[in-house]
Amino acid sequence: MFADFQAGVNAVIAGDYETAYKEFRSAAEQGDTGAQYNLGLMYAEGLSITQDYKEAVKWYRLAAEQGDAGAQRNLGVMYYEGKGVAQDYKEAMKWFRLAVEHGDAIAQNNLGVMYDEGKGVAQDYEEAVKWWRLAAEQGHAEAQNNLAWIYERGWERKHEKGITQDYKEAVKWYRLAAEQGYAPAQFNLGGMYVKGVGVAQDYEEATKWWRLAAEQGYANAQYNLALIYGEGINVIKNYVIAHMWFNIAASNGYEDAKKGIDFLAGQMTSEQIAEAQKLARECIKKNYKDCG
């Protein structure tokens, strides 16, 4: 490890990205893989420097070719998304496969996604589940949510073992991801409580998990909170709060929320609508926290 690399790490901890860039650059040019990886990350994220995906790819590649798992995984992501390079799913698969040889959980999850989608490889749900399980068992929240989704629905295909629908197993994996703060899993766990599958039906628990997801800006959960308040499900019916959440969900791109706004407008006074819109603006400013 080069002294410049450690100096760069110390600068990051101190929040001094300009110094971190200088130190990482010095160490990266001397061949330090950690510095090359971090320099690639700084270019990819535009930390203290102009965002430059081609430069990010350059530095990720240098570290990846020396066997750095994080760089291999991130280089795979760049190929998957077509950032700094032409989109190439097979090349993405190549780098993800190299990263999983080091046990990289994110790369394992990404391989699962590629097998699920059939990108860069023949679609194979059995392989998708295999890689999601490996990542999930390492605590990767997205993989836990993906695995839960499979258990919730179950699947069978000719010549493949498949997975039997198992709601309790789905709840188990959704909960593990939700407890890590992963919004899609919080939303999905809320849905399991509403339906009463794999767990006793409990609208209070559903509302709790949807609120946690909504507070992270997850539009689906914001929409569902609006429904809860609009219909008075286990809460006192409140059109103002429902309208507020519909407004917020709509602002985050949830198209059906506009229908909810239109419907409630016919049930509310102009003063109530104005109050709801005001609350929505305030809620957005508060990053969706303590919004009712």
- Pair of tokens at residue 254: 């949830």
Q: Is the pLDDT confidence value at 116 over 50?
A: yes
Per-residue pLDDT at 89 = 98
Digit-coded pLDDT (tens) for 129-153: 999 999 999 999 999 999 999 999 8
For the chain, how are helix, strand and coil distributed in percent, rounded to 5? 70, 0, 30
Alpha-carbon distance 280 to 246, whole Å?
Answer: 9
The candidate with the shortest Cα–Cα distance to 250, out of 272, 201, 283, 275, is 283
The ranges assigned to domains in the chain are 226-292
State the first-to-last Cα distance of the chain, in angstroms, to the nearest integer: 51
Q: pLDDT-derived band of residue 156, with 50, 70 and 90 as boundaries?
A: low
Digit-coded pLDDT (tens) for 205-255: 999 999 999 999 999 999 999 999 999 999 999 999 999 999 999 999 999
Q: What percent of the chain has pLDDT over 70?
A: 96
Per-residue pLDDT at 154 = 86
The candidate with the shortest Cα–Cα distance to 148, out of 168, 174, 128, is 174
Per-residue pLDDT at 9 = 76
Per-residue pLDDT at 292 = 78
Q: Is the pLDDT confidence value at 122 over 80?
A: yes
User: In this structure, are residues 180 and 139 in contact, taking their beta carbons and an 8 Å threshold?
Assistant: yes
Number of H helices, E strands in the chain: 16, 0
- Single-letter residue type at 196: G
**44 Cβ contact list (under 8 Å, min separation 6):** 51, 53, 56, 60, 74, 78, 83
Task: Scan for tokens 């609508």, then name that residue.
Answer: 273
Which pTM does this prediction carry? 0.90
Per-residue pLDDT at 158 = 47
Per-residue pLDDT at 160 = 56
Helix spans in 197-269 (H): 203-214, 219-231, 239-251, 257-265
CA angle 216, 291, 241 (to 5 degrees): 115
Alpha-carbon distance 76 to 100, whole Å?
Answer: 11
- Pair of tokens at residue 59: 């530095």
Q: pLDDT-derived band of residue 157, with 50, 70 and 90 as boundaries?
A: low
Q: Is the pLDDT confidence value at 161 over 80?
A: no
Digit-coded pLDDT (tens) for 75-113: 999 999 999 999 999 999 999 999 999 999 999 999 999
